[in-house]
Structure 1
Amino acid sequence: MSLEGALETAADGGRDAVMFVFTVTNTSDEPVDLQFSDSCKAEFVVEDDAEEVWRFTEGRMFAQVLSSETLGSGEAATYEAEWSDPDPGEYTAIAELRAQDATCDARTDVSVPP
């Protein structure tokens, strides 16, 4: 199994939020089955000099439902999150797939303007 992750971010000063788009692509020749134990399929974390300042799942509850997705060869799945009311600054954003038997993550820098 070979999964490749890419993370894109966009700060929107008008809404005072940062949008995260995490794309997971199956780069193998075989289909990949992703099994999830709840409705949260990806985790998003924002760090400032390796100190966590925001976590998508913090203070949230997710439906406890088993689900699965199959990614064929070359197919991708996209997961999104929004960080509301961030403080201005330079951060590192990290996204991680929350599948039971598969790992994939990505990171990128994000700048929140004053």
Structure 2
Amino acid sequence: MTLSGSLSATVDEGTVEFRYEVTNTGDEAVELQFSNAQTHDVVVFEDGEEVWSFAAGRMFAQMLQSEAWAPGESSSYGATWEDAPSGEYEARAWLASNDVDAEAATSFSV
């Protein structure tokens, strides 16, 4: 199973819009299994310390779900950090699926 992730951050007046895209770069279909309704997470770090997380404080429905991706198929996930303070940050994103790694990172300034 080969998945590739990329993460972008767009800053506009203290609001940061994250776009996390994951592509099946392999030659075979991929079946992703999720243990609840959360499909991804984005976490922001400043000087190595976590300062914001998309999933923090959110409730996700307790349900099993799965997604099947054909070779070359992509999915895009978003997250919004409002009222972000000025600073230099690194963001990391990953799928919340079981046994799959498609982590991506980006640096940005507010």
TM-score, structure 1 as length reference: 0.92
Paired amino acid for 2:57 = G
Aligned to 1:59: 57
Runs of 4+ in 1 over 6 A off after TM superposition: none
- Output the aligned Cα RMSD: 0.9
Q: What is the aligned residue count?
A: 110
What is the rounded CA distance, in whole Å, between the counterparts of 1:19 and 1:25 in structure 2?
20
2:104 maps to 106
Q: C-alpha separation between the residues in 2 aligned to 1:89 and 1:107?
A: 17
Which runs of no fewer than 5 residues in structure 1 stay unpaired? none
* Aligned residue runs from structure 1 range 70-109, under 5 A: 70-109=68-107
1:35 to 21, 33, 36: 33
* Cα distance in 1 for residues equivalent to 2:97 and 2:84: 28
Match of 1:12 in 2: 12
> Alpha-carbon deviations, 1:39-74, whole Å to 9, x = none?
111111000111111111111111111111111101
Instruction: Give TM-score scaled by structure 2 length.
Output: 0.96
